[in-house]
């Protein structure tokens, strides 16, 4: 009987001490017991969640690597359309003719759709269509003041040359011109020439392309061969 009371007293005293210890800031509750993983038939512990997590991590690593390689490939991919040094200037006499050069280079197979476009910048910010050639159509949206006075090589894409011929030059033709090449499948677009045309009534002032532009064009010819 005495032993039982002593045991209860010790037990009660130990519980009180434990409760008192919980009130202090240094008390750390015991860690919860983890659920025992299921056993296989041969007694070896298995963890399907660990296996699933490992597979998921490996898949994410492969996806990240694939995205990185695709980004690098896109950054290093070369544009199939390129142009030589693209600036020129010419002085032409009223009533004469002028050929505005425009060369480009194309790498790869023939695109499904291709367009050649010459435009003239206007003072109002918009551009006038000087000459346009699409697949099977030509000069559908050409500005009226250039009607019947412009032409492009028929096989301009094969020759990589869409130089514009302008006849019966008038004073109103003076200004800045642009040569555009646009393709689809694959898509590419570039301004391959900025050309300044000056029109004069004095034959002595009429000149051809400056020598420096001609030399730059000759230097670029081997790149197209």
Locate tokens 């064009």: which residue?
A: 217
Tell me if 2 is assigned to some domain: no
Tell me if 106 is assigned to some domain: yes
- Domain with residue 100: its CATH number is 2.60.40.10
Query: pLDDT tens-digit profile of 111-144?
Result: 888 999 999 998 777 889 999 998 888 888 899 9
Tell me if 53 is assigned to some domain: no
- Average pLDDT rounded to a whole number, residues 70-76: 51
Q: Report d(CA 127, CA 146) in Å as an integer.
A: 13
Tell me if 14 is assigned to some domain: no
Query: pLDDT tens-digit profile of 162-201?
Result: 999 999 999 999 999 999 999 988 888 889 889 999 999 8
Mean pLDDT of the chain: 74
Tell me if 133 is assigned to some domain: yes
Locate tokens 């142009």: which residue?
A: 83
What is the share, in percent, of the chain residues with pLDDT greater than 90?
31
Tell me if 64 is assigned to some domain: no
Tell me if 50 is assigned to some domain: no
- What pLDDT does 147 receive? 94
pTM of the shown model:
0.57
Q: Which of 153, 162, 161, 81 is CA-nearest to residue 119? A: 162
Tell me if 48 is assigned to some domain: no
Is residue 196 within 8 A of residue 179, CB to CB? The reply is no
- What pLDDT does 213 receive? 45
For residue 211, the enclosing domain spans 81-220
Q: What beta strand segments (E) does 64-211 contain?
A: 81-82, 87-93, 98-100, 105-106, 113-121, 127-133, 150-151, 164-166, 175-184, 188-200
Residue 18 has pLDDT above 80, yes or no: no
Residue 32 has pLDDT above 70, yes or no: no
The number of domains in the chain is 1
């Amino acid at each position: 009987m005495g032993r039982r009371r002593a045991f209860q007293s010790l037990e009660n005293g130990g519980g009180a001490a434990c409760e008192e210890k919980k009130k202090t800031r240094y008390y750390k509750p015991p860690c919860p017991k983890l659920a025992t993983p299921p056993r296989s038939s041969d007694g070896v512990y298995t963890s399907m969640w660990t296996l699933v997590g490992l597979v998921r991590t490996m898949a994410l690593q492969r996806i990240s690597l694939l995205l990185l390689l695709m980004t690098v490939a896109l950054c290093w991919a070369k544009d199939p359309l390129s142009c030589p040094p693209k600036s020129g200037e010419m002085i032409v006499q009223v009533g004469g003719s002028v050929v505005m050069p425009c060369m480009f280079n194309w790498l790869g197979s023939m695109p499904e759709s291709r367009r050649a476009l010459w435009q003239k910048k206007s003072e109002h910010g918009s551009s006038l269509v000087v000459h346009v050639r699409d697949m099977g159509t030509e000069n559908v949206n050409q500005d009226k003041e250039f009607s019947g006075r412009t032409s492009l090589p028929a096989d301009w894409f094969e020759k990589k040359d869409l130089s514009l011929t302008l006849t019966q030059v008038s004073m109103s033709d003076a200004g800045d011109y642009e040569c555009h090449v646009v393709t689809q499948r694959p898509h590419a677009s570039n301004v391959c020439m900025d050309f300044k045309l000056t029109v004069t009534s004095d034959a002595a002032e009429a000149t051809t392309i400056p020598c420096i532009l001609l030399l730059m064009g000759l230097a670029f010819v081997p790149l197209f061969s």
